[in-house]
Amino acid sequence: MIIDTHLHESKYSPDSHLSLTEAIETAKSLGLDGICVTDHDNNYLKNDIGTSKKIDDILVIVGAEILTFEGDILVFGLDKVPKDMVHAEELLEIVKRNHGVAISAHPFRNNNRGLGEYIRNVKDNLHGIEAFNGSTLPHHNLYAYALATELGIPCLGAGDAHLYKQVGKYATYFNDSIRDEKDFIDAIKTKDFCPVIRKNEQFEKIDIYKTPF
């Protein structure tokens, strides 16, 4: 399965110009199997569709992108997210207690919202690093890939879409069949996935030696 694991829709992420319907339609047209809606600092979409739902043949999984004092972290498996800003360690402990998963989003983006080198301090509680983010400069993605490789943390790809053109620019290929949020969390924990890039109207597994940009 191929899933864009980081996307924002406009109802609960004010900076997005992409509706959930547009995101689903675009994902389907690109050949994606699913999308993860990770709105900023909330998972309110759960009130509308539950933790996950198949809509027009696209699996929609609800997570959240939480800004901690150290940077952004994608979280899945939480009923509620912290109302106030917390440190990364605290958020990761909350995720751990709830048997969820946490992914470092765009670690080296130049807007000071990534964990960057701080990943070294919390690596044991991270389940993945978003090494290929469609809204991040290529060389900053490469910094993330290099750190993930050094630390042995699995890499993911995602569009981080706020516009329909960003959907599926990068995504993540999972060997497992994913039916719902629980399957997604389990698949992340198995580490049996890899980033993909959309190229020539299809998705290709990323081979770093071929410079995937």
Domains (range + CATH), the chain: 2-210 (3.20.20.140)
What average pLDDT score do residues 64-76 get?
Answer: 98
Average pLDDT along the chain: 96
pLDDT digits (tens, 9 = 90+) for 22-64: 999 999 999 999 999 999 999 999 999 999 999 999 999 999 9
Q: What's residue 213's pLDDT?
A: 45
Q: Is the dihedral of CA 80, 34, 38, 137 positive or negative?
A: positive
- State the pLDDT at residue 131: 98
Structure tokens at 15: 């900076």
Percentage of residues in the chain with pLDDT exceeding 90? 95
Band the pLDDT of 208: cuts 50, 70, 90. Answer: low
Note the pLDDT of residue 115: 98
* Confidence band for 212, pLDDT divided at 50, 70 and 90: very low
d(CA 17, CA 161): 9
> Between β-strands 128-133 and 155-158, what pairing exists: parallel, antiparallel or unpaired?
parallel
Which letter, b or e, does each residue of 60-99 get, where b requires 16 or more Cβ atoms within 10 Å of its Cβ?
A: bbbbbbbebebbbbbbbbbeebeeeebebeebbebbeeee
Instruction: Give the Cα separation of 28 and 100 in Å (integer).
Output: 27
- CA dist 128 and 87 (Å) reads 18
Confidence of residue 210 (pLDDT cuts 50, 70, 90): low
The pLDDT score that the predictor gives to residue 176 is 87
Contact 21, 44 (CB under 8 A): no
Distance in angstroms (rounded) separating the CA atoms of residues 210 and 213:
9
Evaluate if residue 209 carries a pLDDT over 80.
no
Predicted structure pTM score: 0.96
Mean pLDDT, rounded, for 81-106: 98
